[in-house]
Amino acid sequence: MNRAKIQPAREGGESRRQRPLRLRRRLFIAQTQPGFESVAWSEIHARIPQAREFARRVVADRAGMTIFSSERTEPLRALRCSEDILALVGYSGDIGADAAALDRVRRTVREAPFMADALGARIVFDPTARAGRRLRFRVVARQAGEHDYRRVDLKRTVERAMEERGDHTWRLDEQDADVELWVTQLGAELMVAVRLSDERMRHRDYKVAHRPGSLRPAVAAAMAWLSEPRDDDIVLDPFCGTGTILIERAHLGRYAMLIGADRDPAAVRAALQNIGPRYKPIEIHGDWDAGAMPIGDGSVNKIVTNLPWGIRHGSHSENRRRYGDWMAEMKRVLAADGKMVVLSAEWRLMRDAIERAGLVAEAIMRVTILGVAASVYVCRKRDWPPKA
């Protein structure tokens, strides 16, 4: 696939300067964990070359969004670096923040012009979705910035506006809705969207075994995407946990071998359960020390891994002792032209470990995962490419 150039997030994971959108047909929102918007767009552009990106937004600590157009809906089902896909149906770039803004919210929702398009896209995205004249709905409301009203007031206003629409008979049903309406207010900007995806896109059906702190599948897919997959890849994850990174890499395209290791026997058992009989050829090892792996120099050309953060697993004191060893060992087994993608919240330790290991960080992406600030490091060996 041809990949759009990935622009690393600026320091702190801020979105680009916001400019108002122009609402049009077939605008979609791909949602990620904050900081991964550029990776989500890169995958979209590779799978749908005619797609066009218009903007990016961030709901602080909760979601990153890339807003784009696509004439085709079906290819959106195959996206793996996004957690949710929404269809934009209504918009205001200056809804306001005072109490009177709720009247403008109500009008924007009641008059949202592209509801029919979104409901049609929803059926294409999920052929099992319920259609018809009578539809039950629920509202998910998000709000960032200073306002003279609460998020619950925003939610209730949207609910009333939906029941006033004349295109369908809309009935509020929080427990058994046919349609989810996601309303996001960022300052004075209001976005009204219909959710096309469901929990299967976010959680994946292969995840039958879970552990606390397990990496979110879309984050794992984004990391694998950043490694620039090739058919001849030998991919190593020396901290494989439940196997999510390796499985997501397998879904992104052909490879020569997947290798995972973890010193936690429970993690290895979970990985083997999630992998099952699929994703061959693959090896999972439970007796490897990530600081002294029993494989040869330069034997893998991709390393994609989530290092211990010292929060749910391990400790900061252990990380201080071991980060340097781990990074040096990963550099040893990495091929001369190989690429390493590493996720960690230990910024200072990573900076020192990368320098001492003789690696160069081509990109550092500031991200937020479930409210925790972290970084993705895309590294190569310092002496690559060789001098002429």
Band of residue 313 on the pLDDT scale cut at 50, 70, 90:
low
Band of residue 5 on the pLDDT scale cut at 50, 70, 90:
very low
Omega cis (within 30) before 8: no
Per-residue pLDDT tens digits for 215-257: 999 999 999 999 999 999 999 999 999 999 999 999 999 999 9
pLDDT at residue 4, as a whole number: 40
User: 283, 217 in Cβ contact below 8 A?
Assistant: no
pLDDT at 8 over 80: no
- Both tokens of 290, joined, read 């990530």
pLDDT > 70 fraction of the chain, expressed in percent and rounded: 94
Question: Which strand (E) or helix (H) includes residue 378?
Answer: strand 372-381
- Both tokens of 297, joined, read 């120099």
Domain coordinates in residue numbering, the chain: 27-201, 204-381
pLDDT at 12 over 90: no
Task: Summarize the confidence of residues 7-19 as an average pLDDT.
Answer: 45
pLDDT at residue 329, as a whole number: 97
pLDDT at residue 310, as a whole number: 57
pLDDT at residue 130, as a whole number: 87
Residues 6+ apart with CB under 8 A from 52: 68, 69
The pTM (predicted TM-score) of the whole model is 0.92
pLDDT at 2 over 50: no
Strand order in the sheet with 282-285: 282-285, 257-261, 234-237, 300-306, 334-344, 372-381, 359-369
User: 183, 140 in Cβ contact below 8 A?
Assistant: yes
Strands (DSSP E) found in 254-371: 257-261, 282-285, 300-306, 334-344, 359-369
Q: Is 3.30.2130.30 the CATH classification of the domain at 27-201?
A: yes
Per-residue pLDDT tens digits for 25-72: 999 999 999 999 999 999 999 999 999 999 999 998 899 999 999 999
User: 335, 309 in Cβ contact below 8 A?
Assistant: no
C-alpha span between 269 and 290 (Å, rounded)? 18
28: how many CB neighbours lie within 10 A of its CB?
24
Per-residue pLDDT tens digits for 319-354: 888 899 999 999 999 999 999 999 999 999 999 999
pLDDT at residue 23, as a whole number: 95
* φ and ψ of 28, to 5 deg: -125, 160
User: 85, 30 in Cβ contact below 8 A?
Assistant: yes
Please report the sign of the dihedral spanned by the C-alpha atoms of residue 43, residue 46, residue 47, residue 53.
positive
Please report the sign of the dihedral spanned by the C-alpha atoms of residue 250, residue 221, residue 277, residue 267.
positive
Per-residue pLDDT tens digits for 250-297: 999 999 999 999 999 999 999 999 999 999 999 999 989 999 999 999
* φ and ψ of 328, to 5 deg: -65, -40
Per-residue pLDDT tens digits for 141-175: 999 988 899 999 999 999 999 999 999 999 999 99
pLDDT at 7 over 50: no
Beta bridge partners of 32: 64
Q: Is 1.10.579.10 the CATH classification of the domain at 204-381?
A: no
| Rounded alpha-carbon distances, angstroms, from residue 103 to 95, 115, 117 | 9, 20, 25
pLDDT at residue 139, as a whole number: 98
